[in-house]
Amino acid sequence: MIPDFLGTYDEIRSQLQGKLPIYDGFICGPAIVGSAVQLDGFMDLTPWTRDHLELKWLDVLRGFRENIAVFDNHVRMFPLDGDAHYMYYREDVLEAFGLEIPRTWEEYWQVAKEVHGKDFNGVEMVGSCVGIKSGSHLAYWTSLILSSYTQTKGASQGFILDAQDLTPLMGEAMAEVLKMLELQTIYGHPEAFEGCGGGDPCSLNIKAMNAGNCALTYNWGDSYKASSADDSKVAGLLKVAPTPGTTKVYNRETLKLEDCTEETCGGVGGLYYDDLGWVNRASYLAFGGWSAAVNNNVDEGQQRLILDFFTFMAGPEVSIDAAIPNASTATLVPNGVDPFRTSQLDVEKWVAKGFERTSAESYMEAVQESLDHPNAASDMRFAGADLIFSAMEEEVFKYLEQAVLLDTLPASEEARQEARMQAASTMDARFRDIVKETDAKAETLIPLLQQYQLDLGIYSKCNLKI
């Protein structure tokens, strides 16, 4: 089995291209599944999920059971982890400053601004603690915010590229994302450009928040589990909520950001507030979580053995110990496993492991809402998608470096908006080039548009735009 560290996607692709039966199965991120399916490399697990009751497939949360585990309407991977992004906030800090929990990305940076540099119980507060180190997690943060502007009707739309013709969804939408990231960074941690996110040792989202001087962050579930560690100053104080939404969405016909209406935002991702009106929110299942796949190139006997093993790992009795660690030692044995089953959302089980009840309740509610959300967004899973992700990371970092770290952009908002639109235009061009070049490769056996629509479960021959 190969975990996806240090570029081992390439090793998996190489083995599947050569029809090599070296490994019986793989544990990796779901992004590989598109390449694997076009090489007929991953076994169809649909019959197994239906026939083997010990797997308790319907206990798996909707976002993973119907989206991450599935490609072309067939189950190709067993979830071992439930990755999604959540917002973390200091409830006591917000109450002291008379601030509400952010509902939109606009409110997020405004709350950060109100708290940033202010004293709270003798501690100088930081508004938002998010690590944006180059080559780390910045593309995930960008995708998180972008999805709330570009996806309103569920995952079948796509949020980086349009699902009907692979048109990049950049322009004013990406420019607004860059503005949100810029403002978060201005009212953010002074080490933001050196820190990463996730559960890594360099995760500013965790270590700065746990130090007790941050008001807001967003991250995977690592942040919640780490907040209860023995060395944390925020145990029981850190609360969790779904990530914010937006009052504007991207019109794919006019290529403009437009105010939300009931028609545009009142569907699967919409929430209505008396003071804000309609807000669109897209839950982002970032990375997708560690998953298990069975090699189609090994004999049936080996497939049965690895299926039994993966069923054991993914089943509710074993996976719960990885999903719910002991609170005080959660950071000592980092496993990167977040809840992916309904049975793992029992607050009493978390309290029994040492987690404070009200914070656990807020985490369970955020997980349930995010992973069962009808407008959940997920990463692209076709050949070349990793190149698009890397290009986005590079261009977003370049803009933030100029706008905040080096402060080389003009001060006027008009000039900065022009720079944001230029960055969005550059990403648009790079994405189109990647699609064109990847489609032209001999090893691309299925056109990318068809791969993408298979990924989203919407493919039919008449659905393709020629």
267 and 402 co-located in one domain: yes
239 and 182 co-located in one domain: yes
CA distance 146 to 181: 11
Q: What is the domain extent for residue 253?
A: 86-282+384-439
- Which pLDDT value is given to residue 136? 86
Q: Span 242-262, mean pLDDT?
A: 98
DSSP string, 107-171: HHHHHHHHHTT-EETTEE-EEE-----TTTTHHHHHHHHHHHHH--S-GGG-SSB-TTT--B--H
249-257 long-range contacts, CB within 8 A, separation 24+ = 249/149, 249/150, 249/152, 249/280, 250/149, 250/150, 250/169, 250/171, 250/172, 250/173, 252/162, 252/167, 252/169, 255/171, 255/172, 256/171, 256/172, 257/149, 257/172, 257/173, 257/176
Q: Span 155-176, mean pLDDT?
A: 97
Tell me whether residue 457 is in a domain: no
CA distance 226 to 371: 21
Classified as helix, coil or strand, 378 is: strand
178 and 314 co-located in one domain: no
Please state the φ and ψ torsions of residue 168, each to the nearest 5 degrees: -65, 135
Q: Which of 152-161, 252-261, 437-446, 453-462 has the lowest mean pLDDT?
A: 453-462
CA distance 14 to 289: 22
Structure tokens that stand for 300 in this block: 């049936």
- Which pLDDT value is given to residue 6? 43
Tell me whether residue 392 is in a domain: yes
Rg (CA), the chain: 22
Tell me whether residue 32 is in a domain: yes
CB atoms within 10 A of CB 40: 13
What is the sign, positive or negative, of the torsion defined by CA atoms of 139, 150, 433, 437? Answer: positive
Tell me whether residue 379 is in a domain: no
Within 13 Å and on the Cβ side, how many CA atoms surround 411? Answer: 0
At 231, the pLDDT band (50, 70, 90 cuts) reads confident
- Which pLDDT value is given to residue 328? 80
Task: Tell me whether residue 96 is exposed, middle or buried, using C-beta atoms within 10 angstroms of its C-beta: 0 to 12, 13 to 18, 19 or more.
Answer: middle
Average pLDDT score, the chain: 93
- Which pLDDT value is given to residue 314? 96
109 and 253 co-located in one domain: yes
262 and 127 co-located in one domain: yes
169 and 218 co-located in one domain: yes
296 and 408 co-located in one domain: no
Task: Please determine, for residue 463, whether its predicted confidence score (pLDDT) is greater than 50.
Answer: yes
Tell me whether residue 174 is in a domain: yes
Tell me whether residue 333 is in a domain: yes
- Which pLDDT value is given to residue 460? 83
On whether the CB atoms of residues 125 and 133 are closer than 8 A, the answer is: no
Name residue 335's amino acid: N
Q: Which of 141-145, 242-246, 331-335 has the lowest mean pLDDT?
A: 331-335
First to last CA, the chain: 40
H-state helical runs in 187-299 = 204-210, 222-226, 262-265
Tell me whether residue 465 is in a domain: no
The rounded percent of the chain whose pLDDT value lies above 70 is 96
265 and 147 co-located in one domain: yes
Tell me whether residue 310 is in a domain: yes
What tens digit of pLDDT does each residue of 54-66 get?
999 999 999 999 9
Task: Please determine, for residue 466, whether its predicted confidence score (pLDDT) is greater than 50.
Answer: no
Q: Span 381-408, mean pLDDT?
A: 95
126 and 187 co-located in one domain: yes
At 329, the pLDDT band (50, 70, 90 cuts) reads confident
Count: domains in the chain: 2
Task: Please determine, for residue 347, whether its predicted confidence score (pLDDT) is greater than 90.
Answer: yes
| Strand 248-251 versus strand 123-124 pairing type | unpaired
- Which pLDDT value is given to residue 110? 98
- DSSP-assigned beta bridge partners for residue 87: 218, 241
At 335, the pLDDT band (50, 70, 90 cuts) reads low
Task: Please determine, for residue 436, whether its predicted confidence score (pLDDT) is greater than 50.
Answer: yes
Q: Which of 148-152, 318-322, 422-426 has the lowest mean pLDDT?
A: 318-322
CATH of residue 258: 3.40.190.10
Task: Please determine, for residue 1, whether its predicted confidence score (pLDDT) is greater than 50.
Answer: no
37 and 58 co-located in one domain: yes
108 and 225 co-located in one domain: yes
294 and 409 co-located in one domain: no
Q: How far is CA 156 from the centre of its chain?
A: 16
- Which pLDDT value is given to residue 334? 52
